[in-house]
Structure 1
Amino acid sequence: MDTETDGVRVWLVERTYSDDEQNLVILVYATPDGTQYFRKERALTSSTDVRTTTAAVTAAPSNLGTVDDTALQERYATEATRMAEEHDPTDPI
């Protein structure tokens, strides 16, 4: 796990659009071992609302959830590792 002084670096592993709410994007970032995740929700307020999504973010340890499902851990670990190998943390995705 890549720990920084103010948090844990997590990598983008999933981006989905909410079925329940219109114009809500759900971003999931995970640790490279896939055992923890950080969920970020972003409401798009207009068609011109453009915000950069980066390859990685730093999350406070208290904001990380635990991934209990082994298959999901493996999927997150694979994707987080791929993102870390192919991108700098601040790369727009």
Structure 2
Amino acid sequence: MAHTATDEVRVWLVERTYSDDEQNLIILTYATTDGDQYFRKERALTSFTDARDTTAAVEVEPTNLGNVEDSEQRANYAAEAKRMAEVHEPDDVI
């Protein structure tokens, strides 16, 4: 099923963390510029030569977005997403 860009929401990278309980797992968190919604992507690093790029922004289906309930976290996500949007193109490799 083909989707148009208007079906998707652009979210910006706001956090990159490494899992404590699983080795070689990176958790990428992207958020909307208002900080209201987030998208979490887990990536297992299969080797040091794993060449999958992490981009400044991704386009995701609205149904894949979670709501940010904590107001402090929402403010942090909004600030970082806006900063990323100001200094990067969506497809910039981060």
Normalization by structure 2: what TM-score? 0.93
Secondary structure of residue in 1 paired with 2:79: helix
Matches of 1:41 and 1:6, distance apart in 2: 23
Q: Residue 59 of structure 2 aligns with which residue?
A: 58
Of 44-53 and 20-29, more deviation after overlay is shown by 44-53
Structure 1 residue aligned with 2:32: 31
TM value normalised by structure 1: 0.94
- Aligned positions, number: 90
> What per-residue deviation string (whole Å, max 9, x for no partner) do you get for residues 27-61 of structure 1?
00000000000000000011111211000000100
Tell me which residue corresponds to 2:69.
Answer: 68
- Render the CA deviation track for 1:45-90: whole Å, top value 9, x for unaligned: 1111121100000010000000000000000000000000000000
Q: What is the DSSP-based 3-state SS (H/G/I as helix, E as strand, rest coil) of the residue aligned with 1:5? A: helix
Partners of 2:81 and 2:21 in 1: how far apart? 27
Task: Give me the CA root mean square deviation.
Answer: 0.7
Partner of 1:20: 21
Partner of 1:89: 90
Between the aligned partners of 2:44 and 2:8, the Cα distance in structure 1 is 24
